[in-house]
Structure 1
């Protein structure tokens, strides 16, 4: 999933269509355009009794590694909610570092669709509202 904010404050998300049953080939990391950074995120969910976790890697427009983080989030009810939480935590972290020209990528197509308003899911409204804010 990619997130980008243009000069007018619009949010743009882009994800990769994949299916669990069909191999899709090799997906290679692509550099963002000059002046932008890219953050690849992933969420982890075991069960509702264990706090979910999040991880992300940040690289600049030259592909140079700028850091990676692992964080423990709150307990979530599903893998999808863990992915949304990971996106939000990574986004907040990057902004706290002063990275405001940012592309976020995630492998969770359903999260991409919800954030892009292509799919409604009322249970995740608060997560998407925070991500968009």
Structure 2
């Protein structure tokens, strides 16, 4: 809950990237995390995704939050996914579902943000993992439907 409050505080305080960086470094009341949220460019939306994995016998859950280039909340979704065997598959499944949702809402330019470094590396073609090839292929197929999309 504290992280959600801090994220809301960060978005509210951001006026530009430079001010954001200097304010964040000096704010001692905010617990420090690796990385932080940044606004998307004008005309883009940002979709923050997260997948949840318990074990291979349970359905996964996924969630995502959508914000516009002004940092305004545009929606959030929680969804049940398929059973998967690895946490990485759960993260990729969450990204796929969020992309499909954004497409259904008619968004054209999207920044997809994930907390999974490996998923980002795979989607940037910097890492190859055959066991998630089908998830990667499906994500890239959906990406072609957008005017522009990037992963961070």
TM-score clears 0.5: yes
Select the residue among 102, 114, 133 that pairs with 1:106.
114
**Deviation per residue, 1:22-55 (Å, 9 max, x gap):** xx84533111111100000000000011000100
Separation in 2, partners of 1:31, 1:73:
28
Select the residue among 27, 32, 38 that pairs with 2:40.
32
Which structure dedicates a bigger proportion of its chain to strand?
Answer: 1
> What is the root-mean-square deviation in Å for CA atoms of aligned residues?
1.2
Look up the match of 1:122. Answer: 130
Separation in 1, partners of 2:106, 2:62:
20
Separation in 1, partners of 2:72, 2:65:
11
- 1:63 deviates by 0.4
Alignment coverage as a number of residue pairs: 110
- Shift of the 43–25 alpha-carbon distance from structure 1 to 2, 3 Å rule, reads closer
Structure having the higher Rg: 2
TM-score (norm 1): 0.79
**RCO greater where, 1 or 2, for CA within 8 Å and sep 6 or more?**
1
Separation in 2, partners of 1:45, 1:89:
15
Mark the runs of 5 or more structure 2 residues left unpaired by the alignment: 1-31, 142-152
Select the residue among 59, 62, 75 that pairs with 1:67.
75
90-99 or 110-119: bigger deviation: 110-119
TM-score (norm 2): 0.70
- Shift of the 94–126 alpha-carbon distance from structure 1 to 2, 3 Å rule, reads same
